[in-house]
Amino acid sequence: MLNHEETQKQQYYQYQEDEINLIDYLRVIWKWKVFIALIIILCAGASTGLTLIKYPAQQITECVISLNFPGIEKHKNPDNTLFSKDQIITPAILTRATAFLQKKDKSFSEEDIRGMIAIEAAIPIEIQEKMKKAEKKKESYTFYPNHFSLTLALEQDNIFSIKEKNRILLSIVDEYRKDFEKTYGEEPLVAIKFPADFLANSDYLDTISTFKIRVNSFIDFLDSKIAKAGFFRSQKTGSSFIDIKNDLELLNNITISKIETTIKTLKLAKNKEHLINSYKHKIRMIDVEREKKEKEASIARKLLKDMRQLEKYEPSKGAVSKKGDTNLVLDTSFIKDLIKEDSSSLLLKTALQAEVMAKNLEVDKKFLEEEIVFLKKTETGTENITFVETKLKNIKIEIIALSKRANDLNIEYLGRLINNAIQVARDTETYKARAVSMEKIVLLTSVVALFMAVFIAFFIEYIKNATNQTRETG
């Protein structure tokens, strides 16, 4: 084993040897410094030239637009459909935005224009850093942008003037804004109107029926608005679509229901003879329909009975076919049983349904006959008529007032929805840019050239040293 002093000496000699080798390396690099510098310059120049040829500088005109409407924070349109940045540069929008070029004898195909226009999400630097950190950790980072960079890229500078470039981009933004306002700012309003002589010419129950139909359609409209607007409230009145719906349901379920009950209980009618004749006509229609159902049930019962009688005289199962020495037996009993079972069930079901319908029609007929008798005996009071007509008039006024509230609120909501929804966040600017980074390419080429030149220098020195040693020994 080596002692401590011998170990220290060995480490010292090793250090001196490494230091001598490092100095030799540096001497070689210094000796060939001109060659190394020349190689780096040549390679950097060549990469610069090739990049300039392959990736010529483009004239880029850019503007940044900001989208501020409900749903964009979830990457959705106001109607809850999925938002796409490409809907800003649809073919229809590009065609309208560049229509002014045709007047200046600068017509381009749709494909040419679309190739010049691009749109990308404008992501803030701090968000980009968070996304990179999440990517390093192999995690996902969700971000829904509402700023987008709209660019017009041209390889030749003399195609459009700066004014025309700016106008193209701003026209695209304007056309998209128009489409947006037309789609989401011009929704149909609820239309509830009554003829001027509606109450005078309609009987009481007909008036109630009309009110119910209009109210139900009104509620459907409010439900559709609540699904979109949620808890939106008017800044003017503090009212919401939910509040209007609640008021309308109270009117329908309480006021209209009460007056309907009063009319039916007191058998109120403007023209009793007309109502009685209407009931008599309904009775005649009921008699005709009831007779049809009774005959339908009778026929179904008869067919079912005949089918069951035929089953008793049915021949034995199977059929024999003979040909030569071969007997073939075809057992079709299961098919017949299946057909019988389905037919029997259908006939029985038809008979029962027809009989039930006939009984129900008989009940309806009896009710109408009792109504006719009651109407003939009952005298209509003037006070009751006045009360009912006043109530119906008030209901009509309230329905119209609620519809006006809903329309005013809807107009305010749509105005809020489209107001400043699409804005130019950064004005247009024109600059030159390439598809690749010139600095990165030159830097990468220079590093590669440096290592290649150093390798060549050391290789040549090695060849020289080897040749000299061969001569000395020879």
Name the average pLDDT for the chain: 82
Lowest-confidence range among 17-21, 391-395, 435-439? Answer: 17-21
Supply φ then ψ for residue 80, to 5 degrees. Answer: 75, 10
CA-to-CA dists, residue 8 to 5, 22, 25, 88, angstroms = 5, 21, 26, 76
**Residue 403 and residue 255 share a domain:** yes
Is the model's pLDDT at 15 over the cut of 50?
no
Q: What is the mean pLDDT of residues 369-385?
A: 70
Type of residue at 294: E
Assigned domain for 7 exists: no
Q: What is the mean pLDDT of residues 422-439?
A: 84
**Residue 180 and residue 106 share a domain:** yes
**Rounded Cα–Cα distance for residues 226 and 243 (Å):** 10
Share of the chain above pLDDT 70, in %: 83
**Residue 449 and residue 363 share a domain:** no
**Residue 62 and residue 49 share a domain:** no
Report the 10 Å Cβ neighbour count for 211. 21
pLDDT, one tens digit per residue, over 50-67 is 887 877 777 889 999 999
**Residue 177 and residue 128 share a domain:** yes
Lowest-confidence range among 38-42, 168-172, 363-367? Answer: 363-367
Q: Which of 184, 216, 249 corresponds to the end of one domain?
A: 184
Give Cβ neighbours of residue 210 (< 8 Å, ≥ 6 apart). 194, 198, 202
Share of the chain above pLDDT 90, in %: 28
Which has more confidence, 370 or 227? 227
**Rounded Cα–Cα distance for residues 141 and 132 (Å):** 9
Assigned domain for 145 exists: yes
Nearest to 260 by CA among 206, 198, 197, 216: 206
Is the model's pLDDT at 121 over the cut of 60?
yes
Assigned domain for 283 exists: yes
Is the model's pLDDT at 2 over the cut of 70?
no
Q: Give residue 436's pLDDT.
A: 72
Lowest-confidence range among 22-36, 70-84, 393-407? Answer: 22-36
Is the model's pLDDT at 8 over the cut of 50?
yes
Which has more confidence, 337 or 176? 176
Angle at 13 between CA 9 and CA 17, to 5 degrees: 170
pTM: 0.57
Q: Which of 418, 447, 465 corresponds to the end of one domain?
A: 418
Identify the band that residue 383 occupies on the pLDDT scale cut at 50, 70 and 90.
Answer: confident
Total number of domains constituting the chain: 3
Assigned domain for 110 exists: yes
Is the model's pLDDT at 307 over the cut of 60?
yes
**Residue 179 and residue 202 share a domain:** no
Q: Which of 155, 184, 213 corresponds to the end of one domain?
A: 184
**Residue 163 and residue 205 share a domain:** no
Assigned domain for 191 exists: no
**Residue 241 and residue 356 share a domain:** yes
**Residue 178 and residue 213 share a domain:** no
What is the domain range of residue 164? 58-184
Q: Give residue 254's pLDDT.
A: 93
Lowest-confidence range among 120-129, 144-153, 317-326, 386-395? Answer: 317-326
CB 360 within 8 A of CB 350: no
Is the model's pLDDT at 246 over the cut of 90?
yes
Is the model's pLDDT at 150 over the cut of 80?
yes
Nearest to 399 by CA among 214, 136, 125, 140: 214
**Residue 396 and residue 366 share a domain:** yes
Assigned domain for 265 exists: yes
Lowest-confidence range among 7-21, 29-43, 432-446? Answer: 7-21
Assigned domain for 42 exists: yes
Assigned domain for 353 exists: yes
Q: What is the mean pLDDT of residues 233-256?
A: 93
Q: Give residue 265's pLDDT.
A: 82
Q: Give residue 377's pLDDT.
A: 66
| Angle, helix 241-250 to helix 382-418, in steps of 10 degrees | 170
Identify the band that residue 18 occupies on the pLDDT scale cut at 50, 70 and 90.
Answer: very low
Type of residue at 144: Y
Lowest-confidence range among 211-225, 277-291, 330-344, 420-434? Answer: 330-344
Q: Give residue 267's pLDDT.
A: 77
**Residue 291 and residue 355 share a domain:** yes
Q: Give residue 464's pLDDT.
A: 82
DSSP secondary structure string for all residues of 30-81:
HHTHHHHHHHHHHHHHHHHHHHHHHS--EEEEEEEEEE-STTGGGTB-TTSP
**Rounded Cα–Cα distance for residues 219 and 213 (Å):** 10
Q: What is the mean pLDDT of residues 413-437?
A: 85
Nearest to 97 by CA among 167, 34, 16, 201: 167
**Rounded Cα–Cα distance for residues 239 and 23 (Å):** 87
Identify the band that residue 169 occupies on the pLDDT scale cut at 50, 70 and 90.
Answer: very high
**Residue 376 and residue 233 share a domain:** yes
For residue 274, give both structure tokens. 């007309």
**Bridge pairing between strands 117-121 and 147-154:** antiparallel
Is the model's pLDDT at 401 over the cut of 90?
yes
Identify the band that residue 330 occupies on the pLDDT scale cut at 50, 70 and 90.
Answer: very low
Angle at 432 between CA 431 and CA 437, to 5 degrees: 125
Q: Give residue 65's pLDDT.
A: 95
